[in-house]
């Protein structure tokens, strides 16, 4: 279902929480589409990927921040319309996606336009320097800022920890809404490879006026931060009123 007004930015948090749709300036842009069911664990229910996939039929574009299988997988690639505009972080990822049959694959830059929406690629890093060195498969990642004169500026940070890339994106773009992948995913023996509660607090301190949305929660089995724990932490630290932690299937709308 499409929003009726271009003045609302909206985030649909799917049954599978990674599979979010952002509606910006009346366009539906899918983020991080993946389809495989994750095995259940303490913090991840076996998700209803099939239910969510039906909602992919009506989107206008897809943004793939990187190619990890919890963001982009063969099954999702098989389902999507091959003519759909698809935005990749670099030429290498774009070539891979083209090889899966997609005909309109574009590489994000700091200055990408799509039907009136300005998309600005931002940096990120999927863990500390030491973790990246030890696990090169973590690879390159990006974020994106969506801007449109009649919408709130929305920054999707992507799979990154809090670092200078995120700080730079905030000071450069002054986002009003910031979507954070905040499940605190870990590889045993390494510090987290996406944001945990302290990273979310650091983002809040850098952008105290912004509304933060914690995504990527309780979806992927190596994520160790639950929604309840993040909410409790935000209350303790006094920033609960700036943080939204949507449930699976919940839609957030911003005027
Ligand atoms: Zn990733």
Summarize pLDDT for 217-233 with one digit per residue, the tens.
776 657 788 899 999 99
CA distance readout (Å), 189 to 41, 130, 137, 159: 19, 12, 16, 19
Q: How far is the CA of 172 from the centre of ligand 1 (A)?
A: 24
Give all strands of the β-sheet with 117-122 in edge-to-edge order: 112-114, 117-122, 143-147, 154-156, 177-181, 211-215, 243-244
Q: What are the phi and psi torsion angles at 75 (to 5°)?
A: -70, -40
- Which numeric CATH code is attached to 9-254? 3.60.15.10
What does the pLDDT average to over 120-146? 95
Among the listed ranges 11-15, 67-71, 115-119, 235-239, which one has the minimum average pLDDT value?
A: 11-15
Centre of ligand 1 from the C-alpha of residue 67, in Å? 7
182 CA distance to ligand 1 centroid (A)?
Answer: 12
Distance CA 83, CA 164 (A): 36
**Cα-to-centroid distance, 159 and ligand 1 (Å):** 5
How many whole angstroms separate alpha carbon 83 and alpha carbon 70? 22
Which residues have CB less than 5 Å away from ligand 1 (the ion)? 68, 159
Ligand 1 geometric centre to CA of 7 (Å): 31
Residue 106 phi, psi (nearest 5): -120, 150
Give the pLDDT band (50/70/90) at residue 183. confident
Q: How confident is the model at residue 40 (pLDDT cuts 50, 70, 90)?
A: very low
Rounded to the nearest angstrom, the distance between the alpha carbon of 212 and the centre of ligand 1 is 20
Ligand 1 centre distance from Cα of residue 139 (Å):
8
Residues 51-77, mean pLDDT to the nearest whole number: 73
CA of 138 to the centre of ligand 1 (A): 7
């Amino acid at each position: 279902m499409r929003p009726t007004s271009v003045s609302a930015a909206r985030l649909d948090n799917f049954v599978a929480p990674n599979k979010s749709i952002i509606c910006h300036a009346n366009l539906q842009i899918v983020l991080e589409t993946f389809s495989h069911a994750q095995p259940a664990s303490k913090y991840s229910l076996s998700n209803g990927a099939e239910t969510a996939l039906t909602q992919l039929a009506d989107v206008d574009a897809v943004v793939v921040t990187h190619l990890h299988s919890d963001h982009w997988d063969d099954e999702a690639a098989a389902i999507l319309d091959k003519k759909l505009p698809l935005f990749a972080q670099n030429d290498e990822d774009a070539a891979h996606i083209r090889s899966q049959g997609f005909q309109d694959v574009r590489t994000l830059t700091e200055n990408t336009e799509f039907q009136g929406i300005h998309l600005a690629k931002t940096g990120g890093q999927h863990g500390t320097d030491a973790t990246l060195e030890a696990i090169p498969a973590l690879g390159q990642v990006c974020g994106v800022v969506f801007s449109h004169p009649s919408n709130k500026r929305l920054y999707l940070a992507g799979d990154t920890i809090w670092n200078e890339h995120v700080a730079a994106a905030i000071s450069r773009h002054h986002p009003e809404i910031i979507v954070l992948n905040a499940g605190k995913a870990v590889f045993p023996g390494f510090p987290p490879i996406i944001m945990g509660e302290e990273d979310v607090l650091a983002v809040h301190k850098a952008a105290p006026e912004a509304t933060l949305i914690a995504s990527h929660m309780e979806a992927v089995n190596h994520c160790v931060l639950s929604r309840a724990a993040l909410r409790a932490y935000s209350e303790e630290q006094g920033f609960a009123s700036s943080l939204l932690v949507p449930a699976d299937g919940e839609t957030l709308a911003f005027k």
